[in-house]
Amino acid sequence: MKAQGIDPALVVVDTASWAMEGLEESSARDAGIFLGGMDFIRKALRCAVAIIHHSGKDGSKGERGSSALPANVDFRVEVECDHAVKAVRVWMRKQKDAERRQAPWHYEGRECAGSLAFASISGSEYHALTEGTDDMAPRQIGAALLKLGQPVSTHVLALEVAGPEASVEEIGIVERALGKLAKGKLGAYCNGVGRALKWSILSGA
C-alpha cells in the first residue's frame, strides 16, 4: 500500500476471525499476536484500524473468543440489528479517551439504488419499528379496521393509524412496523404475505 502511494485514514478488518486464520480465537496469547499485527498496520500506515468481530453464535451478548480482544482496543462499538425491519441500534461500549456515551444511536436501513442506506432515527421511531406503539396495540388496530370496513393493504392501514397529519417518513415507519407485527401479535388481523397481505377485522380477530 505504501509503495502504491495509498494513504488511508481507516483500515477495516472484516472479520477478526478471517484475519486470525491459523490462530486460536479463544487463546489470549493468539489474540495478543493478532492485536500486535493490527497495531503494526496502524503505525505503518499512520491510520485507524477498525476490526469487525461477531458476537456468539447463540445470539448472546459479548464477542466470541478471548476477552483479550475487547479489553485491548481503544474503543468498542456494539451493533444490534433487527433484520425483520432493518432497524439498527448502536451502543458505545468502550471509549478510551473520552466519556462514554450511555444512550444508543438508532438507524433504519432504507433501500437505495439496490443497496441499503442507513438513516438516523429517534429512539421512539426505533421502538415503533421493532416493538410497535400503543397506536398499534391489537385493540387500536381492530378499531381502525372496523372504521375502514373492508380488507385493506398495509399502506392503507398505515395511513389510518398514522393520522392525516403524519409525514411520509412517519407513515413509512408505521407501515414497516405493521409488516413486522403481522408475523406476531397482529397476525389475527391479516391474511397473505408480502404485497398480497390484506388486513381485515374479519380475518379471525
Per-residue pLDDT reduced to its tens digit, 12-63: 999 898 999 899 888 999 999 999 999 999 999 999 999 999 886 654 555 6
155 phi, psi to nearest 5 deg: -65, -45
Boundary (domain end) residue, out of 73, 92, 111: 73
107 in the same domain as 89: yes
Across-strand partners of 50?
12
- Count of domains in the chain? 3
State the SS3 of the chain.
Answer: CCCCCCCCCEEEEECHHHHCCCCCCCCHHHHHHHHHHHHHHHHHHCCEEEEECCECCCCCCCECCCCHHHHCCCEEEEEEEECCCCEEEEEEEEECCCCCCCCCEEEEEEEECCEEEEEEECHHHHHHHHCCCHHHCHHHHHHHHHHHCCCECHHHHHHHHHCCCCCHHHHHHHHHHHHHHCCCCCHHHEECCHHHCEECCCCCC
Is residue 176 a contact partner of residue 187, using CB atoms and an 8 Å limit? no
Gap between the Cα atoms of 94 and 115, Å rounded: 30
Q: Is residue 205 part of a domain?
A: no
69 in the same domain as 1: yes
Boundary (domain end) residue, out of 73, 90, 109: 73
Q: Is residue 36 part of a domain?
A: yes
Instruction: Please give the model's pTM, rounded to 2 decimal places.
Output: 0.63
175 in the same domain as 160: yes
Boundary (domain end) residue, out of 58, 73, 88: 73
Provide the pLDDT for residue 160. 92
Q: Which domain holds residue 82?
A: 77-131
Q: Is residue 182 part of a domain?
A: yes
Q: Is residue 204 part of a domain?
A: no
Provide the pLDDT for residue 54. 86
- What would you report as the CA-atom Rg of the chain, rounded to the nearest whole angstrom? 23
Provide the pLDDT for residue 62. 56
Mean pLDDT split into 10-residue runs, the chain, 205 residues: 91 92 90 94 94 73 74 91 84 90 91 87 85 76 87 92 89 88 83 85 55
